[in-house]
Structure 1
């Protein structure tokens, strides 16, 4: 075949999946920026997380009900339901881990570290997935995995060392919180995989987020007076944004992308998210971006790229990025 033969265009569904994956990654990248802006308005992390649930959960519940009805109508007569009571309870519990615990730690970390550093640490959660798989399921850890981990964490160490000398112990606390978030989210990913396979990404996400909502609201009521939910005009716009632009829209963009191009390609495309966060942090928040930040960011992204390129286990869990 001649080298001049044009390459076939990507199928329309593949192109749509790529666009959805890019949109989802970019929208998720706005989360840290919105939270930082909310902090400037005097709205703390727990209040922002609570507003996120107040705005997002009714939408997820509505979509979940519609999706469930659609699945029931399409199922052959006599086929047992995929959503049994044990599965429902498991999904609600997994949602508490992923959308309450992991999100609470992440939101809290943003009170102490920059949005770009927070996003870079979160990006390494697949390494914890691999670690848990090795410890609990005896999955093999290969040399390319170890190399990818070392490269990424070298990048985090570069930024951490630089910021520690400027911000002091706040960076240590913030980094510890976001590492806790990454660990919790990795655990969520492992527990979510069989449930996503059974329910589908869209129904799973709707139920899981719905389970986290009451936990977040209970946490808020134990730690804050209800009057703290009263926010000013600018703050209210930010709370609407954290619930819709940074949560609902990207969640369903990612679900749609998974259905069109698969979880692995969706996850790899999602690695553009830190780049978007860095750009927004610099342009919107005025965060510093020195040569040390550039080096650290390059190392983290390089390590994640090596991980995605060298190791593609069939059962890798990278479907959702909604923490």
Structure 2
């Protein structure tokens, strides 16, 4: 997690008018490491969700369990961040910034997560990861169209390499799945688009509020919306789940939600949204390995070739972004 600028730096320029700046130079590698860690942890989410679905839980209930367990942690860290003795550069986190962070959080961690969980009801964990991680393409596309972000030629080459690998698996799995594949794929594609928009909108808020406060506000807002959705569509008694499902919920909340959300937003504080999203394409590779080890899904030569292409693409994109 990123620490706020030192008090010495804040004495020369009023904190209320100085947004936090992304790191430069060698500190970029910290951003890349945080992004890789976040991608690794996020990769566990699909595996845990599929294990919970095997116990008969639906998407709305599992999302509610995830956020009920996560919300107290985000509230505690957020309130601690806002203590008068620790506010420092967070003094300028006014109501408008908090509202914006809440709306961005609802987009990225409610709507995107809901569509993703609905898709996982219909398609495999490996297929879900491959579709979901088309979102870096949308980050690059929307960034160029609406945020005036340049598209680097080396980034295009990296996308071509990585998505060549993802396309191999996409075509194979699509031919093997039944008629629900198109609907499930559509849900997950929608999740990817929402998450791409989240990354682009979140960047400015993170630079102004700091990654820790932004994460707490965004995730708390998403948690409230998720819990409200569950209460409107399900009786409260549906939360009377088995201890095994609640244990999976704890793993989903901590390993698949809380930790990766802080890692990803701390990475966004240091590197570009394009670089963060491109590094995130490691997640499908990790999911493939976990699906083989935990869900007993087969691993073929095509899977291994696709994994190599994704890793090479990530390496090219990371080096291009650093330069």
Query: Which residues in structure 2 correspond to 1:86-235 (within 5 Å)?
Result: 86-235=96-245
Of 184-193 and 249-258, more deviation after overlay is shown by 249-258
Q: Distance in 2 between matches of 1:107 and 1:47?
A: 10
User: Which of these residues, 233, 236, 243, is aligned with residue 253 of structure 2?
Assistant: 243
* Aligned partners of 2:71 and 2:220 also within 8 Å: yes
Deviation (angstroms), 1:299: 3.3
* Residues 162-191 of structure 1 deviation map (CA, whole Å, 9 limit, x = unaligned): 112221233322222222111101111111
Deviation (angstroms), 1:204: 0.2
* Residues 230-271 of structure 1 deviation map (CA, whole Å, 9 limit, x = unaligned): 211211111111111211133334556677xx3368777655
- SS of 1:144's equivalent in the other structure is helix
**Gap change, CA 1:244 and 1:70, over 3 Å in 2:** farther
TM-score by length of structure 2 reads 0.80
* Aligned partners of 1:128 and 1:186 also within 8 Å: yes
**Gap change, CA 1:93 and 1:288, over 3 Å in 2:** same
- SS of 1:208's equivalent in the other structure is helix
**Gap change, CA 1:268 and 1:190, over 3 Å in 2:** closer
User: Which of these residues, 57, 60, 82, is aligned with residue 46 of structure 1?
Assistant: 60
Deviation (angstroms), 1:63: 0.2
TM-score by length of structure 1 reads 0.80
**Gap change, CA 1:177 and 1:139, over 3 Å in 2:** same
Q: Distance in 2 between matches of 1:112 and 1:17?
A: 34
- SS of 1:81's equivalent in the other structure is helix
Identify the residue that residue 68 of structure 1 maps to in structure 2: 82
Q: Distance in 2 between matches of 1:144 and 1:131?
A: 15
**Gap change, CA 1:49 and 1:113, over 3 Å in 2:** same
Identify the residue that residue 9 of structure 1 maps to in structure 2: none
Deviation (angstroms), 1:37: 0.3
* Aligned partners of 1:160 and 1:171 also within 8 Å: no
Q: Distance in 1 between matches of 2:140 and 2:85?
A: 33
* Aligned partners of 1:163 and 1:171 also within 8 Å: no
* Aligned partners of 1:34 and 1:242 also within 8 Å: yes
Q: Distance in 2 between matches of 1:228 and 1:48?
A: 10
Deviation (angstroms), 1:194: 0.8
Q: Unaligned 5+ residue runs, structure 1? A: 1-12, 314-323
* Aligned partners of 2:282 and 2:314 also within 8 Å: no
Equivalent residues, number: 295
In angstroms, what is the RMSD of aligned CA positions? 2.9
**Gap change, CA 1:197 and 1:49, over 3 Å in 2:** same
